Amino acid sequence: MDRKERAAFIAAQIKERISVLPKVGVVLGSGWNGVADLLKDKKTVAYAELAEMPRCGVQGHMGNFVFGRADANSVVAMQGRFHLYEGKGTETVVLPVEVMKELGVETLVLTNAAGGVNGGVRPGELMVISDHINLTGRNPLEGVAASEIKPVFIDMSDAYDAKLREKFVAEAAKTGVTVHSGVYAQMFGPSYETPAEIRMLGKMGADAVGMSTAVEAIYARYLKMRVFAVSCISNMAAGICAEKLRHEDVLAVLKERQQLFSRLMYGFISSL
């Protein structure tokens, strides 16, 4: 099976389990799982129930599709994404994006936890992604056959929808959450970056760094989806402050802010 056939096969299994197809898809990165808890009329479909669906292998990633409503909007929330550093190729990393497209998703919301590169963006704050730098050395369109309907030479000058960014900032203003706008750099991982790499990223114009999202955004734009992405700044990147980087500390910051950010995200999705 190629990627599209595999996605269609997985989507067909999901359609047998749900009654309403989603229009909004949300990829829940580390610390964002609370969004799924807020959905109404929920139906959970575990990855493990679906033939040909990969399994999650990262702490904090549960491995479920959660279907429901955010007020009038039908939503699928993806609890657990796949990463290049797990040894999974780009085809697997973007497979859920293709599945959501097969289900009818038109708007994709990407969330993640990220390290702050710009000293003005602090742990516990949010950064709406206005642009990205893909430093993984990989592209999800490698080997994809081009067609007139779906060219692979896609324009990435406005990858992240400006109107969606404005709407999120307006929603955040209602809750008092501090939101920045900036450039996100995706690295391959899984090791955190060195201080020298962070200095390089700063000079390149990055404001935050993580190990996901950019590759998914590229593929979503190829599928002609509207894309919005936001990072929770969970720590300052190496060399920005004296503290050592530990995954446990990252998760602790995310847990502290999860409820507040989940309510904000729910309000944003409801407003789409």
CATH label of the domain that carries residue 175: 3.40.50.1580
Q: From the candidates 100, 159, 211, 220, give the one annotated as an active-site residue.
A: 211
Give the whole-angstrom CA distance, residue 229 versus residue 168. 10
Catalytic residue among 156, 247, 270, 271: 247
Q: What is the mean pLDDT of residues 253-266?
A: 83
Catalytic annotation present for 211 = yes
Is 112 marked active-site? Answer: no
Which pLDDT does position 258 carry in this prediction? 82
CA distances from 256 to 11, 123, 128, 130, 222 (A): 34, 11, 19, 25, 35
Tell me which residue range forms the domain holding 238.
3-270
The Cα–Cα gap between 19 and 21 comes to 7
Residue 191 annotated among the catalytic residues of the structure: no
- The pLDDT assigned to 203 comes to 96
Please tell me the distance from the alpha carbon of residue 255 to that of residue 229, in angstroms, as a whole number: 19
Annotated catalytic, 132?
no
How far apart are alpha carbons 108 and 221 in whole angstroms?
10
145-149, 193-197, 219-223: range with lowest mean pLDDT: 145-149
Q: Quick check: 245 pLDDT over 70?
A: no
Confidence class for position 178, pLDDT limits 50, 70, 90: confident
- What is the mean pLDDT of the segment spanning 153-171? 96
- Per the annotation, the verdict on 147 as an active-site residue is no
Residue 180 falls in the annotated catalytic set: no
Annotated catalytic residue, options 33, 36, 47, 61 = 61
Read off φ and ψ for residue 267, nearest 5 degrees: -65, -40
Q: CA-to-CA distance for 84 and 186, rounded, in angstroms?
A: 11
Active-site choice (113, 114, 187, 208): 113
Q: In 3D, which of 183, 247, 220 has the Cα closest to residue 78? A: 220
Task: Determine the pLDDT at residue 55.
Answer: 86
Q: What is the DSSP string of the chain?
A: --HHHHHHHHHHHHHTT-SS--SEEEEE-TT-THHHHH-EEEEEEEGGGSTT-----STT---EEEEEEETTEEEEEEE----GGGT--HHHHTHHHHHHHHHT--EEEEEEEEEE-STTS-TT-EEEEEEEEE-SS--TTTTPPP-SSS-SS---TT-S-HHHHHHHHHHHHHHT--EEEEEEEE---SSPPPHHHHHHHHHHT-SEEESSSHHHHHHHHHTT-EEEEEEEEEEEPBTTBSSPP-HHHHHHHHHHHHHHHHHHHHHHHHT-
Average pLDDT over residues 214-226: 97
pLDDT at residue 235, rounded to an integer: 80
Say whether pLDDT at 61 is over 60.
no
* CA distance linking residue 28 with residue 235, whole number of Å: 18
Range of weakest confidence among 48-62, 146-160, 180-194, 212-226: 48-62
pLDDT at 12: 98
Q: Distances in Å between the alpha carbon of 2 and those of 13, 44, 82, 91?
A: 17, 26, 18, 9
Nearest Cα to Cα of residue 26 among 58, 65, 63: 65
Q: Smallest Cα–Cα separation from 103: which of 20, 172, 211? A: 20
132, 235, 237, 266: the active-site residue: 235
Catalytic residue among 8, 46, 73, 85: 85
212 catalytically annotated = yes
Query: How many domains, the chain?
Result: 1
160-183: average pLDDT: 94
Average pLDDT, the chain: 91
**Active site includes 78?**
no
Phi and psi at residue 113, to the nearest 5°: -105, 140
